[in-house]
């Protein structure tokens, strides 16, 4: 059987293909693309790309689970399942002993508390505000004229601690501009921004009352930012596991869910 999981996020669309059973022996393939405005089309392209890597085409796919904010706009999906459930499934597959997942994407931050079987016990999401999400970092990177991928690394070089007075994504941009005008080092500004993001996520983590000894994983695009991960590790007082490709975990979970559909 060949199954696909497609995770349509606000910024990036991710797909995972899983194949197993007679004649296949089991394989895995993944692909990612910026989401853009045509959700059905980009989903098709991303799944197609992942299939191509294993010399297959759309016709070979038995079941597709779509997830992420664009999940309901995909006409060819077998079922839609939320990114909460899919993320938990993906995390549990990769790290069976993890019971707390932090998933921070383009516009959403999610905290998922699981039991030892990977079942979701409780979840929390950011409410109506993009502070503490990837969008915040993206806008900050633009304002600082630093490539997004370097933002975390640069912030680690900060020598002087400053604090941002605003965690609103829009106002933070204004503040960055005024800090630059006052010749504040970019490294210090970047560090302050990361602290603002981490504080926001840490608050959300605490809202689900996490177990003191829970193993923690971080996924989503923001998990690629080393500074956020380090800050959260310090705040939580424990190690945070980050998979090789943290952005693909929810799509993996979707593919696993597709495999187990009735």
Q: Does 69 bind another protein (CB under 8 A)?
A: yes
Between the alpha carbon of residue 195 and those of residues 9, 45, 73, 80, 222, the distances in Å are 24, 37, 35, 35, 13
Specify whether the CB–CB gap between 63 and 4 falls below 8 A. Answer: yes
Q: Kindly determine how many residues on this chain lie close enough to bind another protein according to the rule CB under 8 A.
A: 16
Work out how close the CB of 67 gets to another protein at its nearest, in angstroms, rounded to a whole number: 10
Q: Does 120 bind another protein (CB under 8 A)?
A: yes
- Which of these segments, 35-43, 94-102, 116-124, 210-218, binds another protein (CB under 8 A)? 116-124
Q: Measured from the CB atom, is 240 or 257 closer to another protein?
A: 257
Alpha helices in 208-242 (DSSP H): 226-236
Q: Does 85 bind another protein (CB under 8 A)?
A: yes
Q: Measured from the CB atom, is 103 or 187 closer to another protein?
A: 103
Put the strands of the sheet holding 12-19 in their side by side order: 27-34, 12-19, 2-8, 63-67, 79-80
Q: Does 170 bind another protein (CB under 8 A)?
A: no
- Which of these segments, 27-35, 44-52, 118-126, 198-206, binds another protein (CB under 8 A)? 118-126
DSSP code per residue over 88-152: HHHHHHH-TTEEEEEEE-SS-EEEEEE-TTS-EEEEEE--S--TTSHHHHHHHHHHHT--HHHHH
Work out how close the CB of 48 gets to another protein at its nearest, in angstroms, rounded to a whole number: 26
Instruction: Determine which residue in the list 121, 156, 170, 261 makes contact with another protein, applying CB under 8 A.
Output: 121
Q: Measured from the CB atom, is 69 or 202 closer to another protein?
A: 69
Between the alpha carbon of residue 83 and those of residues 64, 174, 194, the distances in Å are 14, 32, 25
Q: Does 102 bind another protein (CB under 8 A)?
A: no
Q: Measured from the CB atom, is 21 or 75 closer to another protein?
A: 75
Which residues of the chain form contacts with another protein (CB under 8 A)?
A: 69, 72, 80-85, 108, 119-121, 123, 125, 127-128
């Amino acid at each position: 059987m060949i199954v696909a999981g497609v995770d349509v996020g606000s910024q990036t669309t991710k797909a995972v293909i899983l194949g197993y059973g007679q004649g296949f022996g089991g394989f895995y393939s993944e692909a990612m693309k910026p989401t853009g405005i045509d959700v059905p089309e980009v989903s098709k392209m991303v799944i197609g790309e992942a299939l191509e890597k294993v010399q297959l085409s759309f016709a070979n796919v038995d079941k597709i689970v779509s997830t992420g904010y664009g999940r309901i706009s995909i006409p060819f999906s077998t079922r839609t399942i939320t990114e909460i459930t899919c993320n938990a499934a993906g995390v549990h597959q990769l790290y069976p002993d993890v019971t707390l997942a932090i998933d921070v994407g383009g516009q959403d931050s999610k905290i998922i508390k699981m039991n030892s079987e990977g079942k979701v016990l409780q979840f929390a999401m950011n409410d109506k505000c993009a502070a503490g999400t990837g969008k915040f970092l993206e806008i900050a990177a633009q304002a600082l004229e630093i490539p997004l991928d370097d933002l975390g690394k640069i912030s680690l070089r900060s020598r002087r601690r400053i604090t941002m007075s605003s965690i609103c994504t829009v106002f933070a941009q204004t503040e960055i501009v005024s800090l630059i005008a006052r010749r504040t080092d970019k490294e210090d500004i970047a560090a302050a921004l990361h602290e603002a993001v981490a504080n926001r996520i840490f608050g959300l983590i605490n809202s689900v009352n996490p177990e003191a000894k829970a193993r923690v994983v971080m996924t989503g695009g923001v998990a690629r930012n080393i500074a956020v991960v380090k800050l959260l590790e310090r705040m939580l007082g424990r190690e945070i596991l980050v998979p090789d490709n943290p952005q693909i975990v929810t799509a993996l979970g979707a593919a696993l869910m597709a495999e187990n559909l009735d």
